[in-house]
């Protein structure tokens, strides 16, 4: 029974089918990981850009307030 070529052929076919199925599942998993990592990268980049924009806006809004508090005279333009 162990030397039955028909049974061995069936086992090899089952193993091949199983490995094809595992390979397809691996490919799907790899594709999903790539998609997720791209989304995560996008989220990180967007977060960094938002932080940079926010800090830039904060600096810009801080700057006019600081200069607006100082009185501006003609002599202040020439004393540089």
- Going by the DSSP 8-state scheme, the letter that residue 1 receives in this structure is -
Rounded to two decimals, what is the model's pTM? 0.35
- C-alpha to C-alpha distance for 24 and 16, rounded to whole angstroms: 12
Mean pLDDT in consecutive groups of 10 residues from the start of the chain, 80 residues:
64 78 81 76 75 74 54 60
- C-alpha to C-alpha distance for 68 and 50, rounded to whole angstroms: 27
Return the beta strands (E) in 4-78 as ranges.
Answer: none
Any idea where the domains of the chain sit in the sequence?
7-47
pLDDT of residue 48: 78
Q: Write out the two tokens for 43.
A: 């989220």
């Amino acid at each position: 029974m162990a030397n039955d070529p028909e049974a061995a052929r069936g086992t090899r076919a089952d193993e091949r089918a199983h490995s094809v199925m595992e390979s397809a599942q691996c490919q799907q998993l790899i594709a999903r990981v790539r998609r997720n990592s791209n989304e995560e990268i996008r989220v990180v980049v967007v977060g960094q850009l938002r932080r940079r924009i926010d800090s830039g806006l904060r600096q810009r809004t801080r700057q006019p307030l600081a200069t607006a508090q100082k009185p501006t005279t003609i002599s202040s333009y020439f004393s540089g």
